[in-house]
Amino acid sequence: MTLITTAFLAISPLILSAAAAPVIVGDLELEYCHLSGYSQEVLCGVHTVYEDRRQQQGRTIDIQFGIIPAVAIDKEDDPLVFFAGGPGQGSTEVAGFADVAFEDIAENRDIVLIDQRGMGTSHPLDCETSDDISLLLLSEEERARIAREELQTCLGQLDADVTKYTQDLANEDIHEILLALGYEQVNLYGGSWGTRSALLYNAQFPQHVRSMILDGSAPPANTVPLYANADAERSLQALFRDCAADAICQAAFPELERNFNAVLDTLGDEGIEVSLADATSGEEITFRLTRNIFANGILAILYSPQVSRLIPIIVRQSAANDFRALSAVMDAMNGSVGISVGAQMSVLCAEDYPRISQQEIASEAEKGFVGSAFIDVFANACSVWPQAPLPEIYSQDLSSQVPTLILSGAIDPITPARWGDRMAELLTNSLHLVAPNTGHNVAPFGCAPELMAQFVSEASVANLDSSCLDALTRPSFFVNASGPTPSSADEDDADGSIAND
């Protein structure tokens, strides 16, 4: 799952080619276009649906999509359909991910990226949030109040009934588009929340699904965001162990875990005032850094081993009341993933948060460094966001024998292997592979693209040799400002470049 962010992509990723003639695919007319992050021309289209699919009347919304055409002329008829994460992320906005992860699959299959309703370029439920740094001088209670007010303002500005943006309805849009394009059978890839989307789609339209790849599992049992605290704690403890096992990291940070806990204690609920130079203007800014803000920041950084290699330096500086490294990393990450906050709330406030009890929240808050900081964000938002009834699909049997490849990152802080195991219980014709030293989403790393291509080609998990994933290693930890010092396991990384990309 992707964290709620406060910045969004401001430019549509769908850029039409002015001189290109329309192309007919199935019953739809498409045009050549470019997607952000993808170098080659693709095909783009729009399909109009009723916002209220049940009544089939009233407001209409445009669902936009892109197709990365297969390279081969004699391509297979069943494409790969990409379900993005979040929830709230448009699939066309992560075409660069698809370019890397699905390069081999795209040799003989189309890759279909559909921005589901409310996300990306499909009638997005975008909510502006204040970026006034002075708000961070307020108490957490005051900031929570302002966040609620901003969401209420957003609700008044959106041209939408936000209770009509649940995953089951989005899947009906997607299915309608796929049939109109002439795709009777499809293969699904879901990443993060997209694994839930794909699981539900398979249950809604089982006769149309040939195979599934689920990367970073969010089965219904993983009610977002209840378990983020315990899962992030496991990821952080793995980082502490890996640093201690690396002679150079251990020498540079001999008391890493103790210093981390000391930072949390120093910040506490009230926080401390911090002054830093603004990354854009260079002007000095002052804000109140609390334990919750720090913990949520570390959780976000743990998503990627390429970024979390900086955590030892962040902790060392923070222990000395120097938060420049933390601020720089968070500035770099802010807005890197476009999320339609309104769409995220419409999904989670209907499908997951209502299934969480206060007793569960209290129990899970004791299991890690994040405490209730992560779930508090959603509890605050869902207190004002209109909630649709839990979709009926959640009361149905979601089990299936469709061939499924399940991928988990061993150090993923949000959808780790335990949730892949739960997904495998539903999907009896599946293989669950855990990639070592890999964080959130496995698909782009190491030999995963080749394994996925073989799986989709055969629609079978029987012949997959996953031993190649064992070559994945955690990138070297940074031990000083000039970059990482190579360990015995990673001597080729001396220049500080990102490994495993």
What does the pLDDT look like over 17-48, one tens digit per residue?
Answer: 444 578 888 899 999 999 988 988 999 999 99
- CB-hemisphere CA count at 13 Å for 39? 3
**In terms of Cα–Cα distance, which of 120, 151, 116 is closest to 378?**
151
pLDDT in tens, 165-220: 999 999 999 999 999 999 999 999 999 999 999 999 999 999 999 999 999 999 99
Residue 13 amino acid letter: P
d(CA 466, CA 408): 12
> What superfamily would CATH give domain 15-124+166-224+394-471?
Alpha/Beta hydrolase fold, catalytic domain (3.40.50.1820)
pLDDT at position 501 over 70: no
Place of tokens 């070297």: 476
Domain boundaries, the chain: 15-124+166-224+394-471, 228-336+473-493
Compute the 3-state secondary structure of the chain and give helix, strand, coil in percent, each to the nearest 5: 40, 15, 45
Q: How confident is the model at residue 482 (pLDDT cuts 50, 70, 90)?
A: low
- CB-hemisphere CA count at 13 Å for 261? 7
> Residues with Cβ < 8 Å from 359, sequence gap 6 or more?
none
> Is the model more confident about 301 or about 483?
301
pLDDT at position 5 over 60: no
pLDDT at position 127 over 80: yes
